[in-house]
Chain A
């Protein structure tokens, strides 16, 4: 009997084997190979030549690597803070009984999330283009400006625009997740508090918010990993250039340009690992912050 179950249990290896084979070939091998390449100089035509730590030394002193990291972080923070707050407010509002047309609002707010990011990037690029963009035409039609504003030449504006696209795409998504979390909080509890005379704002801050904390932290952590990999939106918004003044050049765009348009595969791989280390650091930071907070509260 014992040997029989053991035999059956070993079937498990067969069940997980296909996944692991595919993962080794298409997941792990590429990462290890990139790691190997990050110690070489390779243009794709010759054989990779070993250069030791040179790529990493270059990376450390590469002004542009740090600049793209800054850009990525700036874009992420400017989009994620309003994303997580506005969506929370919306979730609470749409959870209220008096609001009409809840499901329509939910659908409309969520919709941009499933639209192809590349399409959104190009669409926004067209709308904000300089001399034929509809946004400028709109402002000129209203008489707010006389000459078209060269939006695409303003670094802060364009970086903000990337953040806006990300916000537009993700606030509805966050809202849906908050609503799912809110549905886990008993209505009776909230209504009891209101009957006791607590204002809605008070109820929100002293009951709803603490109960939603795990969901908020979950969203922060997952958005770090995604946020550090921003590529599609700035790429199509600027037609791949990351301009003006390299302000919309994200780290992954820099990685892509280095490896696949300047054909410095070795250095491109080093950028990938540099970025990975940054993501790991940020993830650890947010995890420890999460733990510290919960510990403090327990105390």
Chain B
């Protein structure tokens, strides 16, 4: 019995010592900890550089994949438990997130984010503000787009690989469809002009005048209807290849050279083309298409209940305004910035080997000036996905006519969001 007792007290003592040792070691360092959530692994680079600059700050970065990210973010914001100090938000979810009353007001002092916005492209400035014009987040990424093309294919079928001349060939959808038809025939059905109908949607989507919901009423902008007609025509004339976006066949087509044009924003260069078709470096070009557009984008927002607002802001400022870091980022990661001033400074020097030496910063700067600011609503992500499903159903023939398609779309929106008025 006494032996047992001795052993027990010894173990208790040991446990206590371990706990005490643990406590004292952690209290000795007393680093400030900044908690960041991201849906993209590109945050790693920025965090690394930020920690080099600020060794006194300990950054805890959590990477959650896109599918679950927003849901989790909204959950923690609702229950205000384990909320990160700073969180990344992708553009498609941003209009929904920026309305949540847990985001810090960045227009006010000490942040005065308005000064930072002045350095950015007009279309990004619009997106950073909520419905009352208060800045709720900072975009660090510039996302104007262009038509990425395979130089070998344009050389073969258009007789040129010069960006200016290619741009002449694809200055309207009509021209692109004509090219598509011809190329399909000449290549015995191997080569398509575009990969799927979303390519048309991506380009045209930036040119809408009215968002999905105006004064609690569902509105279908004529531009969106036009996309459906264009997609149907492209499908019927077999101009598009119908590879699932981000599917294995789609990524494989870049390597195989079975699609001529991929309209994609700036980040498509490292994240889509270089990563999926590394063996084709130098064979790509970048040209302006029928319209200027932008795609995606990432915003940094701060939790208004955060206890580390000072270092949170330090990080956000670093990622959007720090000249040294941003130049590094642009050069080593081929990262096109939201900061127009720095992009302009770099425009002359930065070329891409992957794009056959093209000055792509210069290219995107031109494009960025032209990008219209498409109005957004908190419903965008949900309604967009319903719309895309219905367009798919129409293109695949499950919905016979465009009228059926629009009716099905309206029914579904009205069902999911009874507060939105839908005219039948």
Contact = CB atoms under 8 A, between A and B. Distances in A.
Chains A and B share a contact (CB less than 8 Å): yes
A262 B74 CA distance: 10
B389 interface: yes
A260 B79 CA distance: 13
B389 A243 contact: yes
Nearest to A257: B416
Nearest to A63: B415
Interface string B65-93: 00100010011011000000000000000
Most buried by A among B78, B249, B418: B418
B101 A131 contact: no
B110 to A, nearest CB: 26
Nearest to A130: B244
B162 interface: no
Contacts of A63: 411, 415
A45 to B, nearest CB: 6
Contacts of B416: 64, 262
Interface in A244-263: 244-245, 260-263
A131 B415 contact: no
Interface string B99-121: 01110000000000000000000
A64 B393 contact: no
Nearest to B79: A44
B9 interface: no
B103 to A, nearest CB: 11
Given A153-B396, A243-B389, A131 B247 contact: yes
Nearest to B419: A41
B118 to A, nearest CB: 32
A58 interface: yes
Interface in B256-274: none
A191 interface: no
A101 B244 CA distance: 46
A243 B77 CA distance: 29
A195 B213 CA distance: 78
Interface residues on B, range: 20 to 34
B133 interface: no
B96 to A, nearest CB: 9
Nearest to A57: B418
Contact of B418 (A58, A130, A153, A155): A58
B382 A262 contact: yes
Nearest to B71: A261
Most buried by B among A58, A131, A153: A131
Contacts of A243: 389
Interface in B291-305: none
A239 B67 contact: yes
Given A63-B411, A132-B248, A44 B389 contact: no
A194 interface: no
Contacts of B247: 129-132
Most buried by B among A45, A62, A63, A153: A45
A132 B249 contact: yes
A274 interface: no
Q: What DSSP secondary structure best describes chain A's contact surface? A: loop
Contact of A45 (B71, B101, B418): B101
Contacts of B411: 63
Interface residues of A, number: 21
B101 to A, nearest CB: 6
Contacts of B78: 44-45, 263
A131 to B, nearest CB: 3
B74 A263 contact: yes
A181 interface: no
Contacts of A260: 71, 75
B134 to A, nearest CB: 17
Nearest to B80: A45
Contacts of B354: none
A239 B249 CA distance: 18
A218 B322 CA distance: 69
A208 to B, nearest CB: 46
Contacts of A62: 415
Contacts of B102: 45
B157 interface: no
A260 B78 CA distance: 12
Contacts of B417: 262
A245 B398 contact: yes
A131 B389 contact: no
B244 A245 contact: no
B363 interface: no
A45 B71 CA distance: 14
Given A44-B78, A63-B411, A131 B244 contact: yes
Contacts of B67: 239-240
Contacts of B392: 153
B412 interface: yes
B115 to A, nearest CB: 30
A104 B11 CA distance: 50
Interface in A86-144: 129-132
A44 B412 contact: no
A14 B183 CA distance: 82
A80 B396 CA distance: 31
A261 B416 CA distance: 11
Contact of B393 (A239, A245, A263): A245
List the 10 closest A-B pairs by CB distance, nearest first: A131-B249, A44-B78, A132-B248, A64-B415, A62-B415, A58-B418, A63-B415, A131-B248, A245-B398, A261-B71
Given A44-B78, A45-B102, A153-B392, 13 more contacts: A44-B74, A45-B101, A58-B418, A63-B411, A64-B415, A129-B247, A131-B243, A131-B247, A132-B248, A239-B67, A244-B393, A260-B71, A260-B75
11 contacts: A45-B102, A129-B247, A130-B244, A131-B247, A131-B248, A132-B248, A132-B249, A243-B389, A261-B71, A262-B417, A263-B74
